[in-house]
C-alpha cells in the first residue's frame, strides 16, 4: 500500500507542480521580506522619536498587528476589504498586503530595539573625536545596529516563510493546494498519497527554512561582541 502512495509523487509532472507551488511561496516571502525591511527601517526610526503622538500611533499599530493571529488579518483583508470598499483583491495580493503590514510592524520593533541598544557613549565618543553626525551614523551606529539586526531579521524571515502556509486558507493555489489537488486526483488509484504528499510538503518547508535559521544562528554566534 505504501509503495502505491509514493508512486504518485513521481507520476506525470506532479513533482514539478509541487515545486511551482514552492516557487509561489518563495515569491511571496521574498516580496514580503523585501518590503518589510524597507518599511520596517522607517517604522523603527519613527518609533525612536520622542513625539508622544508618533509614539502612541506606532505602538498601537505594533500591538494590534502583533495580537491578531495572521490568519485573522488575512481574513479581514481578503473578505473584509472586498465587502467594505468593494475592492476585489486576489488572494495573493491580500497575502502580500497582510505580510507587509505584519512584517513592517515586527521589523520596526526589531529595528527600534537594535537602535536603542546602542549605548549613548557610542554617540558621545564619536562626537568627541570630531566626527560629524552623518559620519557617526555611517561608521559607528549603522554597523553595530546591523550586527544585532541581521540575525533577528533572518529569524523573522523564517517565520514569514512558515506563515505563508496559511494562504491556502484564503484560496491561493500554492504548495498545499497543489498537494490537495494531486491527492484528490489519485484518490482511487493511490489512497495513501496524502501521507506522502503532506510528508513531502513538510520536508520542503523544512528545506526552505532550515538554512536560513542555521545562518541566523551562525551569524549571531560570530557577531556576539
Partner 1 sequence: MDVNFIVQHIPQYVDAAFLTLRLATIGIFLSLLLGLFCSLLIYFKIPVGRQICSLYIELSRNTPLLVQLFFLYFGLPKIGVFISSEACAIIGLTFLGGSYMAEAFRSGLNAVETSQIESGLSIGLTRLQLIRYVILPQALATSIPPLCANFIFLIKETSVFSAVALADLMYVAKDLIGLYYKTDEALLMLVIAYLIILLPISLLASFVERQVRYAGFGN
Query: Would you count residue 206 as binding partner 1 (CB under 8 A)?
Result: yes
Q: Distance (Å, rounded) from C-alpha 156 to C-alpha 104?
A: 11
Q: Which of 67, 85, 88, 225 binds partner 1 (CB under 8 A)?
A: 67
Q: Is the Cβ–Cβ distance between 92 and 168 less than 8 Å? A: no
Query: Would you count residue 94 as binding partner 1 (CB under 8 A)?
Result: no
Minimum CB separation of residue 12 from partner 1 in Å reads: 20
Q: Distance (Å, rounded) from C-alpha 163 to C-alpha 157?
A: 10
Minimum CB separation of residue 192 from partner 1 in Å reads: 4
Residues 6+ apart with CB under 8 A from 153: 37, 107, 110
Minimum CB separation of residue 62 from partner 1 in Å reads: 12
* Residue that the C-alpha cell 498601537 belongs to: 60
Q: At what angle do helices 52-67 and 91-116 cross, to 10 degrees?
A: 130
Positions 138 through 197 that interact with partner 1 (CB under 8 A) = 158, 162-166, 168-169, 176, 183, 191-197
Which positions lie near partner 1, rule CB under 8 A? 1-2, 5, 63, 66-72, 75-76, 79-80, 82-84, 158, 162-166, 168-169, 176, 183, 191-199, 201-202, 205-206, 209-210, 213
Amino acid at each position: 500500500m505504501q509503495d502505491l502512495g509514493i508512486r504518485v509523487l513521481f507520476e506525470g509532472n506532479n513533482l514539478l507542480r509541487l515545486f511551482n507551488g514552492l516557487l509561489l511561496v518563495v515569491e511571496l516571502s521574498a516580496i514580503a521580506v523585501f518590503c518589510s525591511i524597507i518599511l520596517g527601517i522607517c517604522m523603527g526610526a519613527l518609533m525612536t522619536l520622542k513625539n508622544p503622538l508618533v509614539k502612541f500611533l506606532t505602538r498601537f499599530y505594533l500591538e494590534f498587528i502583533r495580537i491578531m493571529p495572521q490568519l485573522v488579518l488575512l481574513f479581514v483583508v481578503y473578505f473584509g476589504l472586498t465587502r467594505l470598499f468593494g475592492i476585489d483583491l486576489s488572494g495573493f495580493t491580500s497575502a502580500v498586503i497582510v505580510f507587509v503590514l505584519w512584517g513592517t510592524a515586527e521589523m520596526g520593533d526589531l529595528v527600534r530595539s537594535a537602535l536603542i541598544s546602542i549605548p549613548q557613549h557610542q554617540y558621545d565618543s564619536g562626537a568627541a573625536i570630531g566626527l560629524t553626525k552623518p559620519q557617526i551614523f555611517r561608521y559607528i551606529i549603522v554597523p553595530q545596529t546591523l550586527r544585532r539586526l541581521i540575525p533577528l531579521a533572518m529569524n523573522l524571515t523564517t517565520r514569514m516563510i512558515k506563515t505563508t502556509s496559511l494562504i491556502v486558507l484564503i484560496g491561493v493555489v500554492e504548495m498545499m493546494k497543489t498537494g490537495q489537488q494531486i491527492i484528490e486526483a489519485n484518490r482511487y488509484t493511490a489512497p495513501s498519497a496524502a501521507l506522502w504528499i503532506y510528508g513531502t510538503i513538510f520536508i520542503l518547508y523544512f528545506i526552505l527554512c532550515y538554512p536560513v535559521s542555521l545562518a541566523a544562528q551562525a551569524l549571531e554566534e560570530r557577531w556576539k561582541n
